[in-house]
Structure 1
């Protein structure tokens, strides 16, 4: 009887251990810090009522291949994750926005909680006249990224910085969509950054 109890205990410990390991690896990825993403603003507590994204801003991972594939329109900021739907809520166009200068250089920054082999980092911006009070769609974005940083399968450091030039001719409120394309999986990480020019 004691041997049977011991066997069940070992089995339960193994199952719980595997569950913990699986959960731990799922929480490691990345988010933009400069400009601060919606997920990062939730983590900081700058924005309230964010749901579970406040504890895992690094987990906005979805299918890669944007804009031809990837998250559905209206679900881009949460990368199709219903549990992160607060990121797709435009909040009446009132997310805190970082001030940028149109046509100026800017250093973009990511915090990676676990680095992956990387294809590239890409940055898209909304078109002039887009509606900041509506969920983000492809039609609201310029069709091509204004900055692409190729990585050719290399693994970045945990603090990634790249300088680029903000598109000229932008004014008022906009959104920058940062996409981190992973080389060795079918996924990418998506980060929505509210800005004002």
Structure 2
């Protein structure tokens, strides 16, 4: 019978080491199988220009989210990170399934910016959100990691007199300004909008109906119209 040889340092036999490694690999696979899957089905996108609230916070502070300067320099992002950092880390996954186009009926006033997702409620809160300066006509840009395309986008802007520093966004605060056609799958999609008749601080609200499934995304982007 062939004996098991130990290594030169007097450690365990090689067959024992190999068996231990197989056990570790099996245990890792079992643990991995219990973790939530966050693959392509959840990897979508957001409006990157004018930046949606969660994306703006992630882009500005993602690499320094523990920086105490955020509390003074960008208080709304600081509050959002305190409430739930996952809102920013998963800026590409603000979706709901199966709405069937019933956006107003199934999205309460004051919850539009979070797409009625309680985990993202921080982005519903009024305050001094950082705004993108735009003219009365500008281009909206979507970045979609998974290139699912769009059945359409519906684009709204807050009515004259709305104050994003003190008011949550509700359906009665919005005017529909654009409904687009379909877009083929692509990572980058852009379209033009006009917000004539308004100046100063407003909120741009965008609904994206993705093409591959009945998946709906909603976001708020803060804008300063000049």
CA distance in 2, matches of 1:78, 1:163: 24
How big is the shift at 1:53? 1.3
Name the SS of the counterpart of 1:43 in structure 2.
Answer: helix
Which residue is 1:68 aligned to? 104
Which residue is 1:90 aligned to? 126
How big is the shift at 1:189? 1.0
| Length-normalised TM-score, structure 1 | 0.80
Provide the alpha-carbon RMSD of the alignment: 2.7
How big is the shift at 1:126? 0.7
Q: How does 1:173-184 map to 2 (within 5 A)?
A: 173-184=201-212
From 25, 35, 42, give the equivalent of 1:19.
35
Distance 1:87 1:136, change over 3 A: same
Q: How does 1:1-197 map to 2 (within 5 A)?
A: 10=26, 13-14=29-30, 16-17=32-33, 19=35, 22-25=37-40, 27-44=42-59, 45=61, 47-50=77-80, 51-62=85-96, 64=99, 65=101, 67-91=103-127, 94-102=128-136, 104=137, 106-132=138-164, 133-142=166-175, 145-151=176-182, 154-155=184-185, 157-164=186-193, 166-197=194-225
Distance 1:72 1:115, change over 3 A: farther
Q: Which has the larger radius of gyration?
A: 2
Q: Residue 31 of structure 1 contacts residue 57 of structure 1 at CA under 8 Å; is this kept in 2? A: yes
Instruction: Name structure 1 gaps, 5 residues minimum.
Output: 1-5
How big is the shift at 1:52? 1.4
Instruction: Name structure 2 gaps, 5 residues minimum.
Output: 1-21, 62-73
Distance 1:40 1:66, change over 3 A: farther
Q: How many residues align?
A: 184
More RCO (CA 8 Å, sep 6+):
1
CA distance in 2, matches of 1:67, 1:146: 16
| Length-normalised TM-score, structure 2 | 0.71
Residue deviations 1:18-61 (CA, integer Å, cap 9, x gap): 635x2234540111111111011111226323231121111111
How big is the shift at 1:146? 1.2
How big is the shift at 1:70? 4.1
CA distance in 2, matches of 1:96, 1:66: 30
